[in-house]
Amino acid sequence: ELTSVAGSGRVDSTPLGSRGVTDLERGSFDVTVDKTNIGPLDYNLRAIKMRSKRSLSRPQAIISNCNGVNGEGPSIMVSGGPDYVTFSIKTSNTVRPAQLTIPARPGYNDVSMIYDGQNLKAKVNDIARSIPLTGKIEMRQAGLLFGACNGYANFRGEVDDFEMYECIPPFWG
């Protein structure tokens, strides 16, 4: 279930093509994660939360805004490896993306990331980490891309209960 929490909660204007089934009554839609692009991305992003289950292999792109113009890498990315999840954000104040890597277990993992303008915070299940980070998240031409990014294996697995917020949500507590 992919849910728009910010703003009106409406998802009927999200370009999914034939990859998703929209349920406007509940304000959600189900998506097969296979290079699905949701964009353009509003960079007032505060948090991403999801449950992720990936097959075990080399690092896989779960969600990012890569594959833009001029070979720019993503400024927002969540990727997963055999036993970890990596979160990265590139801001106007960094030369390279700030990254946090947190251990993950086989099967579903509760994954969340928050950038509050002062820190990048991430959590996988009950393990939380944080690093100082300031600046605006760099804009990219690409919207959010689920399941693919140049230089990474395509995501093979499942994403459940994906949520994006424009505020700091209560789940972080």
pLDDT at position 99 = 97
CB neighbour list of residue 116: distance below 8 Å, 6 or more residues apart: 46, 168
pLDDT band at 22 (very low <50, low <70, confident <90, very high): very low
Mean local confidence (pLDDT), 15-21: 36
pLDDT in tens, 118-127: 999 999 999 9
Number of domains in the chain: 1
pLDDT at position 54 = 58
pLDDT at position 18 = 33
17: phi > 0 → left, psi -120 to 50 → alpha, else beta; which? Answer: left
Mean local confidence (pLDDT), 144-161: 82
Percent of the chain scoring above 70 in pLDDT: 64
- Residue 75: which CATH number? 2.60.120.200
Average pLDDT for the chain: 72
Note whether 73 and 64 are within 8 A (CB). no
pLDDT in tens, 34-87: 444 444 333 444 455 566 665 556 788 888 888 667 778 899 999 998 889 999
Q: Is the pLDDT of residue 27 over 80?
A: no
- Report which of 118, 127, 125 is spatially closest to residue 98, judged by C-alpha positions: 118
**Gyration radius of the chain's alpha carbons:** 15
**Could you tell me the residue range of the domain that residue 102 belongs to?**
2-172
